[in-house]
Structure 1
Amino acid sequence: MVALTLAPGWAIAQSVKATSQRSRDRAAPLDFQGRYLVSISDADMLASAYVDGRLGAREGQDTINVIPLTGHARDFRAYTTAASNSVAGPPTAVAMTPDGQYALVVETFRPRPAGDEQTQTFADLIHGDRITVIDLSDPTRPRQVQELAIAERPTSVSINHDGSLVSVTFHPDGAGTETPLALIPFENGRLRQPAYPIVARIPPGDELVHAEWHPTQDVLALVNNTAAEVSFVQLSRQGANFELQPSGNVVQVEKFPFIARFTADGRHVLVNNLFWGADVEGTWSEAPRGSVVSIRLAAGTQADGSPRHALVSRAMTGVSPEGLALSPDNQYVVTSNLERSYLPYDDERITWFSSVSLITLNPQTGQLNHVADYPFDGILPEAAAFDASSQYLAVTNYDHFDDRIQGGAIDFWRIASDPLNPQPMLVKTRYSIPVTRGIHSMVLVP
């Protein structure tokens, strides 16, 4: 056998080539999976208008932002079209049909007219009364295909599991109907006439802040913000008529619940609680830390044979956890926390940061475990969304503390851990996508 001897120069050249290749390709992992991210931006107000009422200058117009998730995150960009919306409500003002073709956007307050010098304060804004359908069959060219008049001041929108029925909730100050809920059939890309069924467990004047569909059944979780309760109703259809029947007991949660999210198997519901109220300074300005609770559906049976739903766990979050996201694998829960980032710059209570709270979830038991809070440089992060792999997170950033930077942003985070200490943690990456200022609601199309 003849030994093959390589010249030293060849070995050095190969080593340099390999080092160069590693240097050129070396990057922390970020493989954000899914078809696209869909978000909406309210261009009408500064975040500080929540405190001092001053809307400030507009930055463009209200938009829907569509980000196709193809290629590397460094190449992501947003494609936009006009869609009237408002940040003044829970970050549930946009919803997607199960096939990902249509987005539905509710208008809580109307936009400020272009060049309008009279609309200067939050109190000047006029209640909205529209729901808009956006066709995303080409996500790089979103287009409005329908606008339907509904009751005043809609606050949230959700679509049932087969995409045939849309639910919309209304603030009690604006609805002008006997019920705070609309059900709207959706067929072939078109909304039909809305129905306003009676919701027995929401007393007149209470705020039904969010209604969320069960992932496989025509069951709604109803979040009563005023009474700090979550109830469930079963939908029955009789021709063009809808009836909502109570399903099981009402569950008492914590102060100022905001959003309900079902786990993928429908066994549990998660609810974020903001601890806002008339007994809090400024209603929300000096709120304490918030929480997330989990509710197990049909944990048992009541004496009358109806299901008994049970509150099973809670975890603390940062201050004002408006956004609530659940990973597709049901292992992680995240809240995006406003902290006091939205206060006017000259308010001594301002926090020059927002935060994200990471919580683990046991999908079998519903047990929650608070891992940590992660502060970051941003204002009013109303919403967050996991990617399809459950390993990455997108977080909305309403505005920037540096006023030279126009617009808002979507920032990307990843779940990480030390190989020698597998406790999960969140790491904010350097990747960020500019969008219209005022971004506040966001969903992933997987």
Structure 2
Amino acid sequence: MKKLLISIFFIVSINTFSQKLSFDAKAIITISDADMAASAYIDGKFLKEKGTKDALSVVKFPLEKYSEEVKTIGVSNSVLNWTKGMVLSPNNHIAYVVETRGTPQDNISELKNVNADFPAGGFISVVDISDLAQPKVLYKFPTGKNPIAVEISPDGEYLVICSEEYEKELQVLELDTTGKPIRIINKPKDFPSGRITDVSWHPNNNYIAFTLEDSKEVGLIKIARDGPTGKIIRMDLLGHPLKVGNFPGAGQFTPDGKYYLVPDLKWGADAKSEQGYDGKGDMFVLKFNLEGTSDHFLITKTKVGESPEGFAISPDGNMVIVANMKKSYYPWESLEFSKNSSLSLLTLTTDGTLTNIGEYEFEGILPQNIAFDKSGNNIAVTVFDYFNFGKHFGGIEFWKVIKGTKPTLQKQDFKLFLPRGCHALRIVK
């Protein structure tokens, strides 16, 4: 059956009516940045569509062909961070959304450098998603200037936030039973100076990994707790930060906490000066020494596609899928523009060996986030924009994971269209 393009939001496109979308989850939560086109990273032109606003969308499953199970509300957010602009509480009742940057005035349509000149952000929106059919913003609370990433502790009692404001580069916020911040724990006294671009909570609840942009290092913080209450009393730097590539992105611990994975996007002059530079990125596997008796060390690194910003680790920890943006975010008239992005499929063994199995191209601009479903048999990938004229959409692409001795990916014949600027997603399992 010929595919139809229907120019309204939230339509699942289907190639054959006999097929069903395969994705094992209660819902997907996404955020979309309406303030700029992806190409503004290069030429500074927003190309903002009239009347559009930043949004949070809740997509309930199962989806039908003409589903009304997508609810959207206005929530300020920004793509000008890495991949941790939103986090869900462990009970999936609350979404915390970072406003990394604010909204430009209506009379401003272009900036010389969006990363440097975009209006500052400075708060987190707290969104009630306990009723997936009726999401609502509860309140906002201030952070440091330009918060970059947020993560929640596995027990749901603390948020860790990194921002660009001096003395607020890294903070841990204690939450009350409703999810509201009630206390701030500041960074360790001997913490290295410089811009922090990422934070990750260890699955055992007692460590936080961080990335230092200027020195291109990844380090580890150990959390000290009060014995009777279990509350955090301070944070201590553990060991020495480890140099990771030329341009490290946002990292993740494996589900068992044994390893820490970080992509290297290889942007900048340092990468280009490397012998054999081909523009492609790397994935690093690190091993932290949690006892602090020796330094942390690199296990392995593996080449993936170009600009590998987002990635996901399977629930069993055996596979890693990386979203390679390539140059899909370049202006369409640019000779360097790439109409396709890609996914790299990798296997991860118990000894930390990471092996690239294959790369799969697909049409879409700036894929930044990936998530496995509950079963680990399917993934969802965000797409910031599509290569089409007229009305623009972001969306989610779905892929099946075909397991075996040599796993493969199979693209599903479905697209979920969302507001342009879709750049982060989280799964309600």
* Match in the other structure for 1:93: 85
Aligned to 1:407: 393
User: 1:107, 1:287 → 2: CA distance?
Assistant: 34
2:420 is aligned with 1:437: yes
1:53 aligns with 2:44: yes
Pairing of 1:283-322 with structure 2 (within 5 A):
288-298=279-289, 306-322=293-309
Report the alpha carbon displacement of residue 157 of structure 1 after superposing the two structures with TM: 0.4
**2:406 alignment counterpart:** 423
Residue 128 of structure 1 contacts residue 153 of structure 1 at CA under 8 Å; is this kept in 2? Answer: yes
Task: Pick which of 397-406 and 314-323 moved more.
Answer: 397-406
- Correspondent of 1:211 among 183, 199, 208: 199
Kindly state the Cα deviation for residue 278 of structure 1 after the two structures are TM-superposed. 4.9
2:219 alignment partner, SS class = strand
Separation of aligned partners in 2, 1:382 and 1:73? 26
Within a 5 Å distance, the mapping from 1:25-424 to structure 2 comes to 27=19, 30-58=21-49, 60-70=52-62, 75=67, 77-113=69-105, 116-121=106-111, 122=114, 125-171=118-164, 175=165, 177-193=166-182, 195=184, 197-199=186-188, 202-204=191-193, 206-237=194-225, 242-279=233-270, 288-298=279-289, 306-362=293-349, 364-416=350-402, 422-424=405-407
> Distance between the aligned counterparts of 1:72 and 1:216, measured in 2?
38
Deviation at 1:185, TM superposition (A): 1.5
- Partners in 1 of 2:294 and 2:93 — Cα distance? 35
Give the aligned CA root-mean-square deviation in angstroms.
Answer: 2.5
Aligned residues: 403
Cα distance in 2, alignment partners of residues 400 and 30 from structure 1: 20
Q: Report percent identity of matched pairs.
A: 30
Amino acid at match of 2:133: T
Return the alpha-carbon distance in structure 2 between the equivalents of residues 89 and 430 of structure 1.
30
Q: Alpha-carbon deviation of 1:408? A: 0.5
TM-score w.r.t. the length of structure 1 is: 0.84
Query: CA shift at 1:395, angstroms?
Result: 0.5
Opposite residue 309 of structure 2, the aligned amino acid is: E
Taking the aligned partners of 1:241 and 1:427, their CA distance within structure 2 comes to 45
Give how far 1:307 is off.
4.8
Higher Rg: 1
One-letter amino acid matched to 1:102: I
Q: Secondary structure at the match of 2:156?
A: coil
Q: Amino acid of the residue matched to residue 89 of structure 1?
A: N
Aligned equivalents of 2:375, 2:68: Cα separation in 1: 18
Distance 1:435 1:287, change over 3 A: farther
Contact 1:134 1:146 (C-alpha < 8 Å) held by counterparts: yes
TM-score with structure 2 setting the length: 0.87
Give the partner amino acid of 2:224.
S
| Contact 1:67–1:76 (8 Å) recurs in 2 | no
Please say if residues 262 and 270 of structure 1, whose CA atoms lie closer than 8 Å, have aligned partners that are also in contact.
yes
Question: Which structure 2 segments of 5+ residues have no match?
Answer: 1-15
CA distance in 2, matches of 1:398, 1:25: 27
